[in-house]
Chains A and B, each alone.
Chain A
Amino acid sequence: GNSVTQMEGPVTLSEEAFLTINCTYTATGYPSLFWYVQYPGEGLQLLLKATKADDKGSNKGFEATYRKETTSFHLEKGSVQVSDSAVYFCALNFGNEKLTFGTGTRLTIIP
């Protein structure tokens, strides 16, 4: 079946540090890939997405590139801020409307 594996947290970084959250997937075929973010006390919000190989999704300084060869979609940001503290979810879907999520990675940024 389809699955998403992302690095376990929690991850704690200092402000302005470089961030990488790893995500790899297992799927039959080529799914669409997503990063969702959940800020404290809120629902999930789409952060970025990529729909085909080599696509790069970007938003709010975050980037992720769809790598077919390594079946990966790692999330990166060059300089994190305290306001980036949240739980980040990698997800995939096909045309059956079902999002399959990873287990989430809690990120805490300290000033």
Chain B
Amino acid sequence: DTAVSQTPKYLVTQMGNDKSIKCEQNLGHDTMYWYKQDSKKFLKIMFSYNNKELIINETVPNRFSPKSPDKAHLNLHINSLELGDSAVYFCASSQGVIIHTEAFFGQGTRLTVV
């Protein structure tokens, strides 16, 4: 059973398009995240939701809009894609907002904008 699953695994699209990445977790966690990993493997948090409420929103362009229909899902919609959006996007989840909790990551979605 996959704990955190994201789709698609690979996404190639043209500049200016709008695309979505879906994420689902079956761990019963109430906190979910989106991270961006650039070509140098640097990981940076983008968003965090707890019980469908946005709790972390780093400096991310407005073209990125997360949506959490329920606490098991956190989707990422990107408008007007740009070349610099090419990266691997990781979804993750953890239980609660307590310190020391372990985050479980999905396998990543490699987005390539051409």
Contact = CB atoms under 8 A, between A and B. Distances in A.
Contact of B42 (A41, A42, A101): A101
Interface residues of B, number: 28
A32 B102 contact: no
B105 interface: yes
A97 B107 contact: no
A94 interface: yes
B42 A104 contact: yes
Contacts of A42: 107-108
A80 to B, nearest CB: 20
Contacts of A101: 42-44
Contact of A97 (B90, B94, B105): B94
Contact of B103 (A46, A87, A95, A106): A46
Contact of B99 (A36, A87, A93): A93
A95 B105 CA distance: 19
B41 A97 contact: no
A31 B107 CA distance: 26
Nearest to B102: A46
A45 B94 contact: no
Interface residues of A, number: 24
Given A32-B99, A95-B97, A97-B94, A43 B48 contact: no
Given A42-B107, A51-B100, A89 B56 contact: no
Interface of A: 32, 36, 41-46, 49, 51, 87, 89, 93-101, 103-104, 106
A49 B102 contact: yes
A24 B33 CA distance: 25
Given A42-B107, A45-B105, A51-B100, A98 B48 contact: yes
A92 B87 CA distance: 23
Contacts of A104: 41-43
B42 A97 contact: no
B30 to A, nearest CB: 11
B98 interface: yes
